[in-house]
């Protein structure tokens, strides 16, 4: 009888502690300055993957990151700047491209495409714009894939040009993460393949 009463008290104490921790975490998240992406709030206290999985506009990107085996990397410490293509951006690719890239035998090519959207370090929109202005309107930066992208401004929007001449526009900037920042883009960037 005594043991069951002690066990009951211990379980109540644990439940109260867990409840308080959850409440404290919920309160902290409610105070964060979030950005809405794909119908979901993106929390600066969460990492790139923890936020991306909640965006209904990035389900293709999340599936690609999983297929490429990059979840652990993008959940890591970073910091990273990710130019995140939407589902609509992937739909602009020629028919069958996404399906082909998601096949296990094309994992290396998929990794190349995805890491071409990542820059080491955290570069908010202000940093990107300052870099563009400092370099007379165009700034070339190296991606994690090892190839360059060119950043420029057009009508006040940041444009990204890939090595093939393809262009993408940043549609949502400064989606801050615990391990970097995401800038949502409207076109998939393609490295030389």
Residue 14 Cα distances to 7, 11, 111, 138, 165, angstroms: 10, 5, 43, 57, 58
- pLDDT grade, residue 45 (50/70/90)? very high
pLDDT reading at 24 higher than 80: no
Q: What is the pLDDT of residue 192?
A: 87
- pLDDT grade, residue 35 (50/70/90)? confident
Q: How far apart are CA 87 and CA 94, in angstroms?
A: 14
Residue 162 Cα distances to 71, 86, 117, angstroms: 24, 17, 10
Q: How far apart are CA 116 and CA 139, in angstroms?
A: 16
Judge whether 148 and 141 are in contact, CB under 8 Å.
Answer: yes
- pLDDT grade, residue 32 (50/70/90)? confident
Q: How far apart are CA 107 and CA 102, in angstroms?
A: 7
Say how many C-beta atoms besides its own lie within 10 A of residue 177's C-beta. Answer: 25
Q: What is the pLDDT of residue 7?
A: 41
Residue 93 Cα distances to 2, 37, 99, 150, 173, angstroms: 68, 22, 11, 20, 23
- pLDDT grade, residue 40 (50/70/90)? confident
- pLDDT grade, residue 33 (50/70/90)? confident
Helix (H) or strand (E) holding 183: strand 180-185
Q: How far apart are CA 109 and CA 141, in angstroms?
A: 21
pLDDT reading at 13 higher than 50: no
- Segment 77-104 shows an average pLDDT of 95
- Segment 101-105 shows an average pLDDT of 95
- pLDDT grade, residue 6 (50/70/90)? low
């Amino acid at each position: 009888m005594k043991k069951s009463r002690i066990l009951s008290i211990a379980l109540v104490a644990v439940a109260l502690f867990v409840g308080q921790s959850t409440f404290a975490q919920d309160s902290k998240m409610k105070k964060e300055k979030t950005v809405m992406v794909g119908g979901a709030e993106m929390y600066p206290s969460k990492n790139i993957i923890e936020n991306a999985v909640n965006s209904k506009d990035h389900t293709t990107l999340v599936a690609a990151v999983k297929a490429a085996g990059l979840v652990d990397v993008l959940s890591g410490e970073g910091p990273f700047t990710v130019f995140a293509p939407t589902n609509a951006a992937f739909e602009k690719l020629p028919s069958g491209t996404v399906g082909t890239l998601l096949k296990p035998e094309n994992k290396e090519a998929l990794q190349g495409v995805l890491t071409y959207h990542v820059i080491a370090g955290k570069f908010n929109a202000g940093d990107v714009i300052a870099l563009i202005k400092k370099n007379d309107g165009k700034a070339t930066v190296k991606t994690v894939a090892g190839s360059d992208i060119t950043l420029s401004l057009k009508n006040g929007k940041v444009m990204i040009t890939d090595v093939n001449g393809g262009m993408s526009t940043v549609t949502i900037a400064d989606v801050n993460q615990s391990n970097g920042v995401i800038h949502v883009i409207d076109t998939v960037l393609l490295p030389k393949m």
